[in-house]
């Protein structure tokens, strides 16, 4: 999966916005203002950071040694860095959904209601 395909996957999720809050080369996807993925556009090979359940993060790092690593410049407990071109697209899609769902689960009731109201 390349970065354009990754962007399409993220932006189609309900309530998602894309921004460049850090610099012109770091694309950030948020749901209701909360970050669920970070994609440094200039990094080669293509990589992204995704939020992940801590236990699952460890399992993924062991199963995909060197391809999924602790989050670069992020909390190593809650974030993984994925090398996109070396992973199956279905796994990337699953992990984007997992990251999105983790963030949505932590939203306030008011934020969740607002998200549900988005068409």
Question: What is the dihedral sign for C-alpha 39, 82, 67, 77?
Answer: positive
Which domains can be identified in the chain, with CATH numbers?
3-106 (3.90.1150.30)
Helix axes 89-105, 3-11, angle to 10 degrees: 40
* 43 close to 37: Cβ distance less than 8 angstroms: no
Task: Walk along the chain (119 residues) and give the pLDDT tens digit of each residue.
Answer: 999 999 999 999 999 999 999 999 999 999 999 999 999 998 889 999 999 999 999 999 999 999 999 998 888 889 999 999 999 999 999 999 999 999 999 999 999 999 999 86
Q: CA–CA separation, 50 vs 74, rounded Å?
A: 10
Q: Is residue 44 packed enough to be buried (19+ CB in 10 Å), middle (13-18) or exposed (0-12)? A: exposed
Predicted TM-score of the model (pTM) = 0.93
């Amino acid at each position: 999966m390349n970065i354009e395909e990754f962007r399409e996957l993220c932006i189609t999720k309900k309530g998602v916005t894309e921004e460049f809050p850090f610099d012109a080369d770091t694309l950030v996807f948020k749901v209701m203002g909360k970050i669920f993925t970070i994609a440094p556009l200039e990094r080669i090979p293509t990589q992204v950071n995704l939020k992940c359940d801590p236990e699952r993060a460890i399992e993924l790092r062991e199963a995909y040694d060197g391809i999924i690593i602790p989050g670069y410049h992020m909390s190593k407990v809650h974030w993984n860095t994925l090398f996109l071109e070396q992973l199956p697209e279905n796994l990337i899609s699953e992990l984007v959904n997992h990251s999105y769902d983790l963030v949505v689960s932590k939203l306030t009731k008011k934020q969740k209601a607002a998200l549900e109201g988005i068409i």
